[in-house]
Structure 1
Amino acid sequence: MTSPIFNVLTIAGSDSGGGAGIQADLKAFSALGAYGASVITALTAQNTRGVTAIHAPDAGFVTAQLDAVFDDIRIDAVKIGMLANADIVHAVADALRRHKPARVVLDTVMISKSNHALLAPEAVAALREALLPLAGVVTPNLPEAAALLGVAPATDEAAMVEQGEALRALGAQAVLMKGGHLGSADSPDWLIEAGGTLRLAGPRVPVTNTHGTGCTLSSAIAALWPQRGALAPAVGEAKQYLTAALEASERLDVGHGVGPVHHFWRWW
């Protein structure tokens, strides 16, 4: 019997350089066997060296995109990335409450790899209060988790787990605390769910092509979650996929700054 092809929606910003955002999400969905739909929340003028301009559409147009997709297409999982401002955060939250998708992966995108703000400061509270309670899993890195909680970033794994549990207390069903900023020899992540915690070990891949890693991991989770039927195995497989995409990234020759990961390492 042929396995079903699941439909996954990304709600995120566009990266004109193709390494992150909507473009990375759709590549990861395709590489992992899911059909991708998209709602664009921002347009960025961006390359591997940085972000030079951002244009956010009216929140009403974001709502129109969301309703158009949900009214016609069965959506098995949603990945949320860059949301730009508080009005768009609330538009997305309202749509999720109306359409009630079964699986929501919230990637709390705040700062680009080139240190450009991708979320207005006043929107952090809206993200915390309106969207966290709707997330099946939220996937912050350590600075993002700290910003959401109003505390200093975790500097060890015990603090990572503590902050992950604090984010769960704000309403998220599960939290994946990403340990890339720890600076340790490896790159451990911690999945905190109602039933307990799970440490996901992983090597720190010594490459410079790390643009779009957070987008790629969260979209991989969204693509794999309906296929695997449970969150933990989807997260574990998504982390393995990203590690391989990082390891293969030097096969690409894209730009002169922080290059992208190789989403199609299995096929090219």
Structure 2
Amino acid sequence: MRKISQLTNEIKQGILDYLYKDEMYNSILIELIENNSENLGELFISEDSKEIIGILHIKNDGNSDFTSFHYSTEQGLKAIAEEIKGLNYKKILLAGTLEKVSALLYLLGDKRQPEENIFYKLNVGKCKGISKNYRTKIRLAALNKQDIEKVKKFTAAFLEAETEEEVRSITDDKKILPKMKSGVYLLEYEGKAIGMARFIGKTKNYAEITSVYIDESYRNRGFGKELIGRMIEIAIKENKIPVLETWQTNMAARNTYEAMGFEEKGKYAFEFLT
């Protein structure tokens, strides 16, 4: 693979053309290349007769070296595996379709079976037929002390931080503020913020919903559906189809998503390299 040290317009367009062939699953990397190329991280491509056959992207998110990849041939997969073997990173988190993550782990000598996530895509027609009588409002979190502290609290709970050290690491301003500047939505009930969600991976056709969280004291009251419904409305107004992921075993979340019109489209995986 060759490392892209300068993302020229020609190289950028070639990479985007390649990624857009599987837009739904590559939305996070597509958005990063389209809108944030100055803070891209490390990007590698593998080519065959000047045609891209594999892409590897690595960027430290504060907790790990988040690694997304895509390949279209066996040669592309092998090139990605060899590149990862040569990298000196302590904590790599692989992200991709279950099939691709499993294949890469195998080549890296890791025989684990990745934990399955469900990848959902909204059936817009089905969603329009769902009755919506909301009790809540939604707004973008502001960069003020009150909203910052609320987002920090929700984020620590969403990521299940247990120790004070974990909470400090997760809620560091360097990690929280960029997310808020990109857009964190707060769900409000009776004037109080009770949940949050945000978008990642906005492309021409898709917007991925992530960090979906409802305060524990407000759960099992239908607010999760209202939060998802509000995020759906925002995405559709921007002419984008919402997608999202959740653990296969998280039946509460799955039931909520399916009740709002989401349909399973495939399996996804996040797996740390050992």
Superposition TM-score, scaled by structure 1 size:
0.30
Superposition TM-score, scaled by structure 2 size:
0.29
Using CA pairs below 8 Å that are at least 6 residues apart, which structure has the higher relative contact order?
2
Determine which structure has the larger strand proportion and give its number. 2
